[in-house]
Amino acid sequence: MNGNEMITQELCKELDMKDGEMKEFQVQGQSILLVRNNGVFSAVGNKCSHFGAPLSKGVLVGDRVRCPWHGACFNVRNGDIEEFPGLDSLPCFKVTVENGSVCIVTNKKELESAKRVKCMSSRSAGDRSTVVIIGTGPAALVCAETLRQEGYTGRIVMVTRDKHMPYDRTKLSKSMNAKAVDIYLRPAEFYKDHDIEVWTEKEVVSINSDDARVKFKDGSFLQYSQLLIATGSRPREIKCPGSTLKNIFYLRFPEEANAISEAANGKNVVIMGSSFIGMEIAAFLADKANSVSVIGRSDVPFQAVLGAQIGEVAMKLLKEQGVNFYMRTEVREIREDNGQVKEVILRNGTQLPADVVVAGIGVTPVSNFVKGSRVAVDTKGAIYVDQFMRTSVPDVYAAGDVVSFPLAMMDGHRVNIGHWQMAHAHGRIAALNMLNKQVPINSVPFFWTSLLGKSIRYAGFGEGYTEIVMKGTLEELKFLAFYLKDDTVVAVSSMNYDPIVSQVAETIFTGKNITKKDVLAEDFINIIGKL
């Protein structure tokens, strides 16, 4: 069969599906999602374009399906991506209903394409405008792609001090030995095809908003019509004695992940910090290093965000793989042998042998280059933006980990959130508002962590929660945690309880409250589903 030869296949009878229902079907070995909404049938690819999760196991609200794993959303009428993570839309198929039979009409080529890149404009010689994007993370890339998807025909220049094209930074702590080129978000040809310039190893040192230009470390300048700052965050540096010795690592670039992976092989590793990066590194190195020790200030890992009980579960998982934990303490000194790390001394005098030290003690926004400009920042260096991602300076926007922005689900309370998903959403909103679309940011935070093949998912904003309601069993690694503030659910986390985190995210997104009474009910899943 050639790729364009038509395929018509019956999926089901019209009476087999109720309104608001979705089902998975196989068509010539490909997974298809069929949805019935308001009496209309529509069909799209069933695999999420981010990591291939089955969307049929997700959450359907109206014409929008939310992925059960990482919260990406797609419009089932046209397959377009509406919430992130991920860059691509879904293939969309023609559906016919005749004589009570629901059929898909397509061809082999369409059927085999698991992802769809939205149509994009290209640069026009007559358009003299230039959008400059500082950074090449997800906020930067989604901004560039959205501009082209929305018909922008000016010049787009993405600049980074990194030596790589945009890549998936979430994999640096999960697959530390991955080659940079294997985690690129787009192949090099993609940027050429869509007239997006990517300047690597080009560091911005200042912005002159009066003259609308950025200055680079090499002394050169670049004029902009509109500017997006999407520089992300950098690891916080260690301050104790011995912090400049050899074999002390931070994790921001692929080369650093590779270097840690290589140096740790068969050696004694000490990880400073017991939050998400530190724990993922410990999980990755557990079966490769001679010893892995994690040092944290809290009682258990993840305590501030996920709570003590889930922190204990995570700690137990890693302890079973031989990881040692030294909690409620910090490093007093790092000792050397010939300029190289030899041991780490804790506050109570405990000595840990160390050939490799990895710092995961938090991050700070990369905004030093805006000093001296009129771009306003907060006390931590995060750039202030409004709900349209606009900074205090006209035609200058900012997005991603570097910003302090008003969170819709918290009535505009300002937050600085370092989530992969949120950075994507910021990039899209910045692009739309550069084009005067007046679309505010309205995403529900969603993130995940992966330890030894077990995933913890989280949605919402739980800062300042006053109570946690647990469901399921922690011992069996099947649990849900609802984080409450004033008897209202502000966040949820789970392990092996899909798609409830996506369900809660969608409920919060639609502006509905989930109360303590709702989650304490026997049939709480049905109650949340009907809100």
Q: Is the residue at 241 inside a domain?
A: no
For the chain, which ranges sit under pLDDT 70? 1-3
Return the pLDDT at 2.
66
Helix pair 420-434, 138-149: axis angle to 10 deg? 40
Return the pLDDT at 1.
54
Q: Are residues 254 and 219 in the same domain?
A: no
Per-residue tokens: 281: 């590194």
Where a domain ends, among 361, 391, 410? 361
233 neighbors 322 (Cβ within 8 angstroms):
no
pLDDT, tens digit, 9 for 90 and up, residues 271-303: 999 999 999 999 999 999 999 999 999 999 999
Q: Is the residue at 290 inside a domain?
A: yes
Return the pLDDT at 5.
84
Q: Are residues 372 and 475 in the same domain?
A: no
Q: Is the residue at 240 inside a domain?
A: no
CATH number at residue 377: 3.50.50.60
Q: Are residues 375 and 230 in the same domain?
A: yes
Q: Are residues 326 and 429 in the same domain?
A: no
Select from 441, 407, 406 the least CA-distant residue to 424: 441
Q: Are residues 271 and 317 in the same domain?
A: yes
For residue 505, count other CB atoms closer than 10 A to its CB: 28
Select from 204, 193, 501 the least CA-distant residue to 370: 204
AA identity, residue 193:
D
Q: Are residues 38 and 181 in the same domain?
A: no
Partners of 488 in the β-ladder: 485, 515
Pairing of β 213-216 and β 40-45:
unpaired
Q: Is the residue at 123 inside a domain?
A: no
Q: Is the residue at 11 inside a domain?
A: yes
Q: Is the residue at 446 inside a domain?
A: no
Return the pLDDT at 497.
95
Number of domains in the chain: 4
Q: 3-class SS at 252?
A: coil
AA identity, residue 279:
M
Give the neighbor-by-neighbor strand order of the sheet with 59-61: 59-61, 64-66, 73-75, 81-83
CATH number at residue 491: 3.30.390.30
pTM, rounded to two decimals:
0.96
CATH number at residue 11: 2.102.10.10
Select from 368, 367, 341 the least CA-distant residue to 354: 341
Range of the domain at 46: 6-111
Q: Is the residue at 116 inside a domain?
A: no
Q: Are residues 330 and 274 in the same domain?
A: yes
Q: Are residues 58 and 203 in the same domain?
A: no
Select from 383, 410, 457, 463 the least CA-distant residue to 85: 457
